[in-house]
Chain A
Amino acid sequence: MSQIEEVGLDKFKHLVSERALTGETMLLNMGPQHPSTHGVLRLLLELDGEIIVNCIPDIGYLHTGIEKNMEAKTYQKAEVMTDRLDYMNPIGNNLAYVMAVEKLVDLDVPARAQGLRVILTELQRISSHLVWLGTSGLDLAAMSMFLYCFREREQILDIFELVSGQRMMTTYFRPGGVWRDVPVEFEKAVRDFIKIFPKRVDQYETLLTKNPFLLDRTLGIGKLDVATALSFGVTGPPLRASGIDWDLRKARPYCGYEQYDFNVPTRTEGDTYARYLVRVQEMRESLKIVEQALNKLPLGPVRSGNRKFVTPPRSEIGVSMESLIHHFKLWTEGFSAPKASIYSAVESPRGELGLLLEGDGGPKPYRVHLRTPSFDNLAVLSQIVKGHLVADLVAILSSIDIVLGDIDR
């Protein structure tokens, strides 16, 4: 009896090499519970000594049925599902969803709401990259990175709590604007962060960028060439680290990103170290956007005045009969969207986050498909780890920056 039949892995037979069937190479199961798989990912490795011959990812351990569940809720209520999708980037997911709904029903958003959206989305991008930096530091045995990165992340989460009352799952963006205007302390909190953060990024770079241990473990490891990246649909920092300048914020500006002056960092090496450099540089660029957006933030309303889609403010309900009717109708029945289908995409910290949203004339979405970046970015893993050591797999996996909630939905 061969090794494969012994462990009941018959269904993987066509994916491993001939040598695994004879027992010449070893099959090793990594996950679903493993400290460096960043969640519940299972990898089946075929090893020749310590060299990886084949890597077969097995996903679905966090399959939540979000797409199906959103079909059962109205357009407003379905938004809470998107928060829990990619849980490092809840605000970015909200943005993708509300933009898709606004495109479907053709709804305008006031300029102040656009500015607030940009500020919060970019802060969320920084916080997502901080979690990535901290956890990949842990994977590469740089324990202190975790402590430093989470220190700054707490500061960002405090800003989110200030504006929305929640640390992570804010649901602050709503179709037609944002939930309410930001409190007066908001500006000072963001300015404090802008003041402190560049020095902190310098600190991280002092600790890591020229660190010989990091260079040894990342330089030339996990090379992803452009043709493979495009064929596998890789987007976001991994694609930019391979040399393609593709960022939806620049290519197809939304939310007024065209007003801000920022660069899209790219590298050409395509290895783990290049992906590290791109992300660290992106944190600096995001901070630039936050500062410009805060300086330019106009005064005015934060939600659209179109009462067919947006609930009136609380203060109006007590004095206007019509407002009360609108409020009641929008929160019980919801608004209806035309029978049509749209695809709308934003740049999440991990890549292109797209939504295929289809209405059927009623108040509930007929079909929501979430094109999540981690799904495609993980698919390429099996190509780039071949021929590397098992220890390098950990470095490569953390450099792709997957989120299992994003993959399994």
Chain B
Amino acid sequence: MDKKLEPIVKSLQDKFSATFEEFRDEVHLFVKPEQIVDALTLLRDEYNFELLSALTAVDYYPQETPRFHVVYQLTSIAKNLSVQIRVPVNGSSPKVPTATHVYDVANWRERELLDMFGIEFDGHPDPRRILSPEDMEGHPLRKDFPLGYEEPQFTFNFDEIDLRKPYAKE
């Protein structure tokens, strides 16, 4: 771990009883959903983490019990540091408080998570799907959502697949 990062990790451990993991010099801190806004505010105001570089999630269905990890990747330009905060949440429609009033970038990123994972953000100003069509069902990046596959059209099955393409013969 970077020396400059140690006091930051220590203070988060004290304040939020956060646990941490380390892999290839990257620090992952785990905090509870209700603490995330306070943790982000502390990191932004006290420790100069100005940029929320990435906000995403990982789905561990069905192997692990806290099904989702919401991942906040923070960057400090002034100190040239990075830290990752993870928020484990469970259930098929989990709720996390929104971070839009801490970082404006969270607005679109949280909409993306709502669209792709079905994670709801309490107090989000504009909860709509962002990438998928409005009428789509399901959340594509969940592990129980199939990738989707259509059979390619070759010479041997040309006619069979052509039946599915009513517009091709106009």
Does B associate with A? yes
A→B interface (CB under 8 Å): 11, 14-15, 59-60, 63, 65, 67-69, 71-72, 103-104, 106, 228, 230-233, 235, 244, 246, 251-252, 340-343, 345, 352, 354, 356, 358, 366-367, 369, 371, 375-376, 379, 408-409
- Which 9 pairs across A and B sit closest by C-beta, in order of nearness? A233-B105, A60-B131, A371-B54, A369-B56, A63-B131, A231-B104, A230-B50, A367-B58, A340-B23
Q: How far is the CB of B86 from chain A (nearest CB, A)?
A: 9
Nearest B residue (CB) for A252? B80
What 0/1 pattern do residues 130 to 160 of B give for CB contact below 8 A with A? 1111100000110001011000000000000
Q: How far, in whole Å, are A348 and B129 apart by their CA atoms in the complex?
A: 27
Beyond A246-B77, A251-B80, A343-B26, 13 additional pairs, beta carbon < 8 A = A14-B125, A14-B126, A63-B132, A65-B147, A65-B148, A342-B24, A342-B26, A354-B54, A354-B73, A356-B54, A371-B53, A371-B56, A379-B107
A371 B108 Cβ-Cβ under 8 A: no
Q: Is the interface of A mostly helix, strand, loop or mixed?
A: mixed
Q: How far is the CB of B41 from chain A (nearest CB, A)?
A: 13
For A375, what are the chain B residues with a Cβ–Cβ distance below 8 Å? 108
For A369, what are the chain B residues with a Cβ–Cβ distance below 8 Å? 54, 56, 71
Q: A59-B130, A59-B131, A233-B51 are in contact. Are A342 and B80 (CB under 8 A)?
A: no
Whether a CB of chain A sits under 8 angstroms from the CB of B13 is no
Nearest B residue (CB) for A230? B50
What 0/1 pattern do residues 110 to 129 of B give for CB contact below 8 A with A? 00000010000000011011
Q: A230-B50, A341-B58, A342-B23 are in contact. Are A376 and B105 (CB under 8 A)?
A: yes
Task: Count chain B residues whose beta carbon lies closer than 8 angstroms to a beta carbon of A.
Answer: 39
For A246, what are the chain B residues with a Cβ–Cβ distance below 8 Å? 77
Q: How far is the CB of B63 from chain A (nearest CB, A)?
A: 8
Specify which of B50, B75, B141 is in contact with A68 (CB 8 Å cutoff). B141
A233 B23 Cβ-Cβ under 8 A: no
B→A interface (CB under 8 Å): 23-24, 26, 28, 50-54, 56, 58-59, 71, 73, 75, 77, 80, 82, 84, 103-105, 107-108, 116, 125-126, 128-134, 140-141, 145, 147-148
Q: How far is the CB of A108 from chain B (nearest CB, A)?
A: 14
A343 B82 Cβ-Cβ under 8 A: yes
B105 A103 Cβ-Cβ under 8 A: no
A244 B77 Cβ-Cβ under 8 A: yes
Q: How far, in whole Å, are A366 and B60 apart by their CA atoms in the complex?
A: 9
For A252, what are the chain B residues with a Cβ–Cβ distance below 8 Å? 80
Q: How far, in whole Å, are A369 and B109 apart by their CA atoms in the complex?
A: 12
Q: How far is the CB of B72 from chain A (nearest CB, A)?
A: 11
Nearest A residue (CB) for B71? A356
Selected A-B contacts with CB under 8 Å, 28 pairs: A11-B128, A14-B125, A15-B126, A63-B132, A68-B141, A68-B145, A72-B147, A103-B24, A230-B77, A231-B105, A232-B104, A233-B52, A235-B51, A251-B77, A341-B58, A342-B23, A342-B24, A343-B53, A343-B73, A345-B53, A354-B53, A356-B54, A356-B73, A358-B58, A366-B58, A367-B58, A379-B104, A379-B107
Q: How far, in whole Å, are A65 and B75 apart by their CA atoms in the complex?
A: 27
Nearest A residue (CB) for B52? A233
Q: A65-B140, A103-B24, A358-B58 are in contact. Are A11 and B134 (CB under 8 A)?
A: yes
A231 B103 Cβ-Cβ under 8 A: yes
Specify which of B82, B131, B147 is in contact with A408 (CB 8 Å cutoff). B131
A233 B103 Cβ-Cβ under 8 A: yes
For B50, what are the chain A residues with a Cβ–Cβ distance below 8 Å? 230
For B54, what are the chain A residues with a Cβ–Cβ distance below 8 Å? 343, 354, 356, 369, 371
Q: A340-B23, A356-B71, A356-B73 are in contact. Are A232 and B131 (CB under 8 A)?
A: no
Nearest B residue (CB) for A367? B58
Nearest B residue (CB) for A69? B147
For A228, what are the chain B residues with a Cβ–Cβ distance below 8 Å? 104
A67 B126 Cβ-Cβ under 8 A: no
Q: How far, in whole Å, are A342 and B23 apart by their CA atoms in the complex?
A: 8
Q: How far is the CB of A23 from chain B (nearest CB, A)?
A: 23
Q: How far, in whole Å, are A203 and B56 apart by their CA atoms in the complex?
A: 44
For B26, what are the chain A residues with a Cβ–Cβ distance below 8 Å? 342-343
B53 A352 Cβ-Cβ under 8 A: yes
For B56, what are the chain A residues with a Cβ–Cβ distance below 8 Å? 356, 369, 371
For A251, what are the chain B residues with a Cβ–Cβ distance below 8 Å? 77, 80
Q: B56, B116, B132, B141: which has the most chain A beta carbons within 10 Å?
A: B56
For A343, what are the chain B residues with a Cβ–Cβ distance below 8 Å? 26, 53-54, 73, 82, 84
Q: How far, in whole Å, are A366 and B103 apart by their CA atoms in the complex?
A: 28
For A230, what are the chain B residues with a Cβ–Cβ distance below 8 Å? 50-51, 77
For A342, what are the chain B residues with a Cβ–Cβ distance below 8 Å? 23-24, 26
